[in-house]
Amino acid sequence: MSVRKQVLTVAAASASYWIGDGFPSRTLFPLGEVHDFSPFLVVGYVGPAKFEPSKRPRGVGGHPHRGFETVTIVYQGSVDHKDSAGHSGTIDTGDVQWMTAASGLVHEEMHGKELTAKGGDFEIVQLWVNLPAAHKMSKPRYQGILKAHIPRVELGLGSYGRVIAGELNGVKGVAETFTPVNVFDIRLDAAGIAEVTLPAGHNAAIALLRGGIVVNGSTRLEGSPHIAHLGTSGESLLLEAKDESLVLVLSGEPLNEPVVSHGPFVMNTEAEIRRAFEDFQAGKMGHVS
């Protein structure tokens, strides 16, 4: 029988704040004094919120990134993406966007056309995933992953997981990653039970977005969104739902490299951060057209 991963820390989401005029956000990570959750940098939960119809799209206008990847998981609504590397696309309910900023680009994220015109519910999670030093200056990349292409794995009584990245019960996700990363979208019915296997040595966390669960028979997560940070030893989790629940499970192999961040840039040294600002101001990251 595999050893359960230990729950180290539990924290509630931050107070809500706005990113642009379309993303009412709460931060689930960093976790208090726990700052090293490599390779994950940020776990943000947007919504759930209901928007009225609008004549113009709401969202976040052109802004730069360098040195990491952004991952947008859409639970309700839609997001239109456009960037200075020439990538564009719409991700709808159930879809995922995996954008590799790497050497740098400028992008915008706006509500999709139907959400803008008709209004409706909006709920997403956005992750920042760090890149290893060897790939921080790679060419930018965009992966628009449709719901139909995300594998589904039955996990137990009244539960299943969508494998966005990594591998779950021998089923591999379609997202291409630079280092070993697992991103699982897990759904449990009321009284559902899920057995989840994660690699020993990975940093790992459970984000409860809706509902209520008990982790490994002892740690209860319920109410407002919460995140539980897990120990690196052990290889399994037992999730038992008390209500219909929506859970995001994350794990990744630590990079064990220096991290220096400032605003939209994440590099390994202060000099690299200064260079990122200089390159952006000089227009070397391009413009959204």
Enter the tokens of residue 24: 């009412």
Q: Residues 166-222: pLDDT tens digits?
A: 999 999 999 999 999 999 999 999 999 999 999 999 999 999 999 999 999 999 999
Assigned CATH for 7-281? 2.60.120.10
Distance between CA atoms of 141 and 87, rounded to whole angstroms?
8
Please answer whether residues 275 and 287 qualify as being in contact, where contact means their C-beta atoms are separated by less than 8 angstroms. Answer: no
pLDDT at 85: 96
Q: What is the pTM assigned to this prediction?
A: 0.96
With tokens 């696309």, the residue in question is 89
Residues 176 and 165: their CA atoms lie apart, in Å, by 7
* 160: nearest Cα among 118, 124, 189: 189
Domain boundaries, given as residue ranges, for the chain: 7-281
At 2 the pLDDT is 80
First to last CA, the chain: 55
How far, in Å, CA of 228 to CA of 72, rounded?
Answer: 20
pLDDT at 29: 83
Q: Quick one: tokens of 153?
A: 């794995």
Helix (H, G, I), strand (E, B) or coil at 115: helix
pLDDT confidence of 1, banded at 50, 70, 90? low
